[in-house]
Chains A and B, each alone.
Chain A
Amino acid sequence: MTAVLKVGYRRLAPLAYPALIASVVLLALVLVPGIGSSAGGARRWLRLPGFSLQPAELAKFSLVLYLAYSLAKKREKVRFFSIGFLPHVLITFVLVLLALAEPDFGTAVALMLILFALLFASGAKVSYLVGSVLLALPVAYHLVARSPYRMKRILAFLDPWAHRHDVGYQISESLMSIGSGGVLGLGLGDGRQKLFFLPEAHTDFIFSIIGEELGLLGVVLVLGLFAVVLWRGIRASLNATEAFGAYLGLGLTVLLSAQAVVNMAVAMGMLPTKGLTLPFISYGGTSLCVCLASAGVLLSISQSRGGFLRPTTGGAR
């Protein structure tokens, strides 16, 4: 985080295309048998000497960097379908396809959210955005209906207690964790669910353990801290001096806060289970490095005192 802050976000601009190409290559490498390593039915990691790397986490950061750079470069032309809309959608689509092949539905959703947030903020036509969502809906339905494991997750989401001994096990254990915490929680380290009852207690479902050990107070604290990250991230983007900083800040704020909201909603049974980590809190080296680098970029943008995205008075351009 400190390194990114010292380097400054402007020096990241020339890295936009190389980072995007590297992400595509790494995501493709994960799919190669013998190179990619699988766990929990998904092939998501590259085992390197001493550590493992999750390219999907890098891909989210690379996409934000690329979109911010490209949209800032195109500026007024963003409103044109063939210049501002189609190239960005196609490149995001390549990353989404690679993420789905792992399979990693959570990352695919996060990539789409980043794309739409940045296209909307940069002034792309809303009709294009709405149209592409309507076109994507049947594809999403097909992806869910065709995949037995996704269909099971939907069933578990709709009625976790009816499936609590098979597909709904994780979510029903998660709900019991949060419920047993009460207002003040059982006390730090006194949680019982992490003793092998709740799978992924230290990564995707750490929010449930916070609910169990620290209770409603802990949950409100975490929600409050993410609200601060969202507020200050948007503030930094609004204060950016130029388009690249504004879009980069906005993209990273969306990335951090959307992941947090989706992870917490999954733990509370409000969304079907997805493999998304809770930023800054979940165990996982690549995710933590990317989140801290994102925070470093946001802090770097926060040093600007511009107002590129702020509304102008009287419509003067």
Chain B
Amino acid sequence: MEIAATGLCAPKSRAGAPGARIDLVLLGAVFALGALGLVMVYS
């Protein structure tokens, strides 16, 4: 099965909305991992 053949790679007409908000969930996870790393390395 090829992805292109199933239409998975087909572009959609929806345009990107400029000024959209960043992903706060991803940002939170990255900060939590970084904070845990700091605590683990320096404790």
Contact = CB atoms under 8 A, between A and B. Distances in A.
Given A222-B33, A228-B26, A304-B16, A317 B10 contact: yes
Contacts of A279: 33
A5 B22 contact: yes
Contacts of A29: none
Interface string A6-32: 000000000000000000000000000
Contact of B16 (A125, A226, A241, A288): A241
A206 B26 contact: no
Contacts, number: 133
Contacts of B27: 295, 299
Contacts of A299: 22-23, 26-27
Classify chain A: how many residues form its interface, as a range: 35 or more
A306 B11 CA distance: 9
Given A121-B3, A126-B2, A303-B20, A202 B30 contact: no
A281 B43 contact: no
B33 to A, nearest CB: 4
B2 A236 contact: no
Q: Which of A188, A288, A292, A308: most chain B Cβ within 10 A? A: A308
Contacts of A120: 3
Nearest to A224: B29
Interface in B1-43: 1-12, 14-17, 19-23, 25-30, 32-34, 36-37, 39-41, 43
B21 to A, nearest CB: 7
A307 B37 contact: no
B34 A280 contact: yes
Nearest to A127: B2
Contact of B43 (A125, A188, A232): A188
A204 B22 CA distance: 31
B26 A312 contact: no
Contacts of A79: 2, 4
Given A280-B34, A317-B7, A125 B26 contact: no
Nearest to B39: A188
A125 B33 CA distance: 37
Given A241-B15, A303-B22, A281 B36 contact: yes
A209 interface: yes
B26 A232 contact: yes
Contacts of B11: 242-243, 308
B26 A229 contact: yes
A232 B6 CA distance: 24
A87 interface: no
30 contacts: A78-B4, A123-B2, A206-B37, A206-B40, A206-B41, A226-B29, A232-B29, A233-B26, A243-B9, A278-B37, A280-B30, A280-B37, A281-B37, A281-B41, A292-B34, A295-B26, A298-B23, A299-B22, A299-B26, A302-B22, A303-B19, A306-B14, A306-B16, A307-B14, A308-B11, A310-B8, A311-B10, A312-B7, A316-B10, A317-B10
